[in-house]
Structure 1
Amino acid sequence: MELIIEDWGMVEGQPIPVKRFSLKNNQGMQLQVTNYGCIVTSLEVPAKDGQLADVVLGYENLDKYLGGHPFFGAIAGRYANRIKDGRYELDGEVFQLETNELPTSQHLHGGSKGFDKYVWNYAIEQQDDAIYLHFSRVSPDGESGYGGNLLVTHSIGLDNHNQVHYNFKATTDKSTVVNLVNHSYYNLAGHDSGSIDGHELQLHCDYYTPVDQQSIPTGEILSVKGTGLDFTQPTLIATNRAMMADGGIDHNLIVNRKVTEGEYALAAELYHPESGRVMTVLTTQPAVQFYNGFKLSNKPWFGRNGYKYEACAGMCLETQHYPDSPNQAHFPSVRLNPGQVFEEKTIHRFTLR
């Protein structure tokens, strides 16, 4: 395992220097991460012919990230995904958050200055077979409207088995809500290879949470059978996309936990036939948000080497708790109380077929 640390700039008003960390394993796979927003900036993975390709969407410098982006590779929090009307109640106290998603007027991904906009402290753990970067910060009581001082550690690691690890831990001094995800956009053909429609996807999810016109769960839990969300068998993304309004998929699917590895459940398998690359997602989280990137063309995003990311240039598989869980008592709880530890883990395993 190799590790290189580079100075990557500063963010105005934040005293911690921005660094970029390059991790390389003994199979030639390379992961680049920055402590600004815990962003995965690059992930080079070999194909069956041995050629490396960068399989995540992103930028080559800090200034581009500071200029704005649709959560390329970043942490989303304190509450990832949406909360209805930006409101939740705990023990009789109402918390009003920012309603920062303009099309829906809902709270999204922690607000306009969520966890993705901060420079995090870091510590490095070097093992014989893996390197972990432990990013940490305290989100103070009242930040973005949330209650409680929340101590968060987000660990990102690479091991010699071509696995990327995304681990989260958090504690609080006041009851609060927490939902943390990594928001990388993947294209196993390479970030500059056009649409992900030609990928095959299998989701180990039999049910989903339908949403209203503001993208908020209705509270129902429905079967995926007969819908464009039925990826229970390996399915070409383009095939199911054609069944969805506007070709858009941005839905929360419930992991069925039928196949497990220890504490992890198999959530998803993504396959790109031409390169032979396979990405397997294992998680302790109860659900995964599959977003096929259909909204990427809403703004001009120019990634590494000036490549323009059009609609469906990349897709997200965000392991998570359900959207709007603070307002849906029958959803798995996202409440964190003093004395408790929030802990969730996800592995993205890369193999060849």
Structure 2
Amino acid sequence: MVEAFTPPARITRSHFGQLHGAEVALYTLTNRNGAVLKVINYGAIVTELLVRGRDGELADVVRGFDDLQGYLENTPYFGATIGRVANRIKGGTFELEGQRYALALNDPATGSHLHGGRRGWDKVVWNAEADSSERGPSIKLSYTSADGEEGYPGRVQATVLYSLTDADEFRVEMRAMTDRTTLVNMAHHTYWNLGGPGSSSIAGHELTLHAKAYTPGLPPAGAVEPVAGTRFDFTTAQPIGPRLQPTGYGPGGFDDNFVVDGAAFSLRPVARVRDPGTGRVMALESDQPGVQFYTGNFLDGSTRGKGSPHVRHSAFCLESQRFPNSIHVPAWRDSVILVPGRLYSHTMIHRFTVE
């Protein structure tokens, strides 16, 4: 007699660690195809995502650590939700409603404030609530950022909803409200390698970016330039490896904001990445005006997790967002200003298929 197959629980919760008296929990979401998403409520961090390759086997396509301590020590924002403002603010200052604000200059190489400061939303414990729908399992994480936190005005209530659909989609839905005019530009910061745990390079990955222009500079100062005829042209699928040469800043690779084709704030294609070796394909849609393409340039092997060192160009990030440094560019400024009564909204859909 053949025993009936019992599917795994859609959502489970387990202990991952303790921080300042608060429990850090690990939530495991499993869809009907067996794909698995693991999330901790510290930093709203995605620690694992297991999807199938051409061989039919599940493999983890997310870079990260094995335990909480790894995420607490010198992590490069692996898998986190970034806030209050993702990316860079040049000079670490801005003016809003006639008042000047000073922020931490935690990216000294560019003289910028980076990813919300020294203790951004990637370094706090969020509240978590598991849920499930016809689409698949999900987890809603929420955090209240106090007025004055990291130098920003206003009390902000933020949420991020992670869903693993039965169509093998990883959905990220970020929302925020404020009680006082402030800045908000959230981003999701998973480091991807579609080759799985055994892959130490993304050089062979093929990238398509639906972006005919980019904003040069780290951070940008307002210029928008076409990608045609440059190393930034991924409008047709190109292997990443040949374009990882030094760029004049840092160790080479990409850390650049691209202008996504189509109407800003409408859901549309952003990128497509294919790993020829495993056949895994990730297609990204988002409703943001830009996407930061980062190739792990500053992973130097000094940290390791899941059995491997984190080495340069071993993973990539595709961080949809408002343009970096928008508060200092008149044409972009309003996009990052959130006022009371208005909802900040940001949706990403990662679709996984096999070729």
TM range (shorter): over 0.9
- Structure 2 residue 96 is the aligned partner of structure 1 residue 90: yes
Q: Is the 1:87–1:96 contact (alpha carbons within 8 Å) kept by the matching residues of 2? A: yes
* Letter paired with 1:74: A
Q: Distance in 2 between matches of 1:26 and 1:131?
A: 10
For 2:191 and 2:94, how far apart are their aligned partners in 1?
29
Matched, 1:105 2:111: yes
Structure 1 position 240 matched with structure 2 position 243 = yes
Shift of 1:243: 7.5
**Is 1:274 the counterpart of 2:277 in the alignment?**
yes
- Distance apart, 1:263 and its partner CA: 4.3
Per-residue CA distance 1:330-353 (angstroms, 9 max, x = gap): 126111000101011001110011
User: How far apart are the structure 1 equivalents of 2:191 and 2:183?
Assistant: 25
Moved more, 124-133 or 78-87: 124-133
Shift of 1:191: 3.5
Partner amino acid, structure 1, of 2:15: D
Amino acid at match of 1:249: F
Aligned: 1:176 with 2:196: no
Alpha-carbon distance in 1 for matches of 2:56, 2:225: 42
- TM-superposed CA distance for 1:318, in Å, is 0.4
Structure 2 counterpart SS, 1:186:
coil
Alignment of 1:1-353 (within 5 A): 2-12=10-20, 15-211=21-217, 215-242=218-245, 244-245=247-248, 246-257=251-262, 263-297=266-300, 300-305=302-307, 307-331=308-332, 333-353=335-355
Q: Secondary structure at the match of 1:116?
A: helix
**Where do 5+ consecutive residues of structure 2 fail to align?**
1-8
TM-score by length of 1: 0.94
Secondary structure of the residue that 1:63 maps to in structure 2? helix
Question: C-alpha distance in 2, partners of 1:263/1:85?
Answer: 31
**CA-CA distance at 1:162 after TM superposition:** 0.5
Is 1:41–1:58's contact at 8 Å kept on the other side of the alignment?
A: yes
- Distance, in Å, in 1 between the alignment partners of 2:68 and 2:322 is 30
Structure 1 residue 104: Cα displacement: 2.0
Distance in 2 (CA, whole Å) between partners of 1:270 and 1:139 is: 34
Is residue 29–residue 138 contact of structure 2 (8 Å, CA) maintained in 1?
no
Paired residue secondary structure (1:267)? strand
Give the secondary-structure state (helix, strand or coil) at the position aligned to 1:247.
Answer: coil
**How far off is 1:129 after superposition?**
2.7
Deviation for aligned residue 1:64: 1.4
Cα displacement (A) at 1:16:
3.5
Amino acid at match of 1:143: E
Contact 1:227–1:243 under 8 Å retained in 2: no
Q: Deviations over 1:32-84 (max 9, x none)?
A: 00000000001111001101111010012111111221000011110000001
Distance 1:240 1:227 in 2: 10
Q: In structure 2, what is the Cα distance between the partners aligned to 1:129 and 1:155? A: 13
Residue deviations 1:302-351, cap 9 Å, x none? 1112x111100100000111000111111261110001010110011100
* Alpha-carbon distance in structure 2 between the residues aligned to 1:345 and 1:111: 23
Unmatched runs of 5 consecutive residues or more in structure 1: none
- Identical aligned pairs, as a percentage? 39
Deviates more, 1:217-226 or 1:29-38: 217-226
In structure 1, the residue corresponding to 2:91 is in which secondary structure? helix
Q: TM-score, normalised by structure 2?
A: 0.94
Aligned length: 344
Preserved contact between residue 228 and residue 243 of structure 1 (Cα < 8 Å): no
